[in-house]
């Protein structure tokens, strides 16, 4: 069973049919579910998704995310030490368009030896990860 990290950009595209990547995201999601991969995300991604979805799509979409998508993934919970490490990486990166959530995702993937990520965000490829699609 292959471990696949799932990023906010992919989850948002699954819920937002107006998103340019929506159809591609849905096709890829179906493939991942069919292949029975171990889909993982973090509690930071969950919080980021809920905030983004609520702001852009409304509360019904948040409910759909929580009831339909979230149960299909294993959520990795960041602890105090992991948070501090990611915060340090975030400060060292000193990049306006790279968030603490991004840095925590990179750190989590490295810590859990996850090589592949389902995302539409280019920074994962810059960090050396295999990107789906």
Res 36 pLDDT > 90: no
Q: What does the alpha-carbon distance between residue 117 and residue 22 come to, in Å, rounded to a whole number?
A: 17
Q: What is the pLDDT of residues 67-125, one digit of tens each?
A: 999 999 999 999 999 999 999 999 999 998 999 999 999 999 999 999 999 999 999 99
Q: What does the alpha-carbon distance between residue 76 and residue 92 come to, in Å, rounded to a whole number?
A: 24
At 1 the pLDDT is 84
Domain membership of residue 109 as a residue range: 3-132
CA angle 92, 97, 99 (to 5 degrees): 60
Q: What is the DSSP string of 54-72?
A: HHHT-HHHHHHIIIIIGGG
Q: How many domains does the chain have?
A: 1
SS3 of the chain: helix, strand, coil, percent, to 5: 60, 15, 25
Distance in angstroms between the alpha carbons of the first and the last residue of the chain: 18
The CATH number of the domain where 33 resides is what?
3.40.50.1010
Res 58 pLDDT > 90: yes
pLDDT interval class at 51 (50, 70, 90): very high
Would you tell me how many other CB atoms lie within 10 Å of the CB of residue 20? 10
pTM comes to: 0.96
């Amino acid at each position: 069973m292959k471990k696949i990290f799932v990023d906010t950009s992919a989850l948002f595209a699954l819920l937002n049919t107006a998103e340019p990547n929506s159809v591609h995201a849905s096709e890829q999601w179906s493939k991942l579910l069919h292949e029975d991969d171990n889909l993982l995300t973090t509690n930071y991604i969950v919080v980021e998704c809920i905030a983004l979805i609520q702001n852009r799509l409304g509360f019904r979409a948040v409910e759909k995310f929580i009831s339909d998508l979230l149960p299909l993934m294993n959520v990795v919970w960041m602890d105090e030490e992991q948070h501090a490490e990611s915060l340090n990486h975030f400060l060292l990166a000193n990049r306006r368009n790279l968030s603490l959530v991004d840095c925590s995702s990179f750190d989590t993937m490295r810590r859990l030896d996850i090589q592949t990520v389902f995302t539409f965000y280019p920074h994962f490829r810059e960090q050396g990860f295999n990107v789906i699609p």
